[in-house]
Amino acid sequence: MAKYLVLTDLQLIDHLKKDDENAFSEIYSRYADSLADFATSKLFDVEDARDIIHDVFVKLWQQRAQLKIDRDLKAYLFKLTRDRIVDKVRKNITRREYAAMLDSLAVGYEVTIEQKIAAKEIAKSIETSLDELSPRVKEIYLLSREENLSIIEIADKLQLSEQTVKNQLSTALKHLRASLAMVATVALLLWLS
């Protein structure tokens, strides 16, 4: 194992592509702590940071044969980590917005039949709003939110650039937020009436 300490990152990548677990261990030893520190500083949650770093290294191992890193392994790993952090934050924001809206409707009130109908209408409106998206944008949104794929994984799966996936996901989220804001206003008026 000591021989791996003196190898450059590019040499380690070459060994990794040949299924060398010791090369993988050395890469992990070199970068896991700094990646975890970076993720923790952005998420303020050690468990989420650990999960992200775990995912990054699992992905590195799973895609070792297809790796195309010819310069900077550290930059590549930090980019993977940053993308996972962005995905995590986006998912949490969306979930929190939906949860906050539903909580604000339910706090301190008994649920009536009308209110249950309003909640079903909100769910139906969200589905309708999803159907208003173009097929590609909807597919990207569903891969992100229902299958929990990262931007990189969606780009690989759909053979698109990461930037295209980010743009399409942003389009979907803006559309859903606008639709949800309108539906929430109507539902709140129904709830208060």
The residue out of 87, 121, 142 marking a domain boundary is 87
pTM beyond 0.75, yes or no: no
Asked if the structure places residue 102 within a domain, the reply is: no
| Number of C-beta neighbours around residue 191 at 10 A | 18
Are 17 and 64 spatial neighbours (Cβ–Cβ below 8 Å)?
yes
Q: What is the CATH number of the domain that holds 9?
A: 1.10.1740.10
Asked if the structure places residue 164 within a domain, the reply is: yes
Domain count, the chain: 2
Asked if the structure places residue 36 within a domain, the reply is: yes
Q: Which domain holds residue 61?
A: 1-87
Asked if the structure places residue 104 within a domain, the reply is: no
Asked if the structure places residue 101 within a domain, the reply is: no
Asked if the structure places residue 58 within a domain, the reply is: yes
| Number of C-beta neighbours around residue 77 at 10 A | 24
Asked if the structure places residue 103 within a domain, the reply is: no
Residues 23 and 81 in one domain: yes
Residues 113 and 188 in one domain: yes
Asked if the structure places residue 92 within a domain, the reply is: no
Give the single-character DSSP code of 66: G
Q: pLDDT 10s per residue in the chain (193 long)?
A: 678 788 888 888 888 888 889 988 999 999 999 998 888 887 777 888 888 999 999 989 998 888 888 788 888 898 888 888 877 777 766 655 555 555 554 554 455 666 667 667 767 777 788 888 889 988 898 888 777 888 888 999 899 998 998 888 888 888 877 776 666 666 555 554 4
Helix 162-192 vs helix 135-145: crossing angle, to nearest 10? 80
Residues 118 and 66 in one domain: no
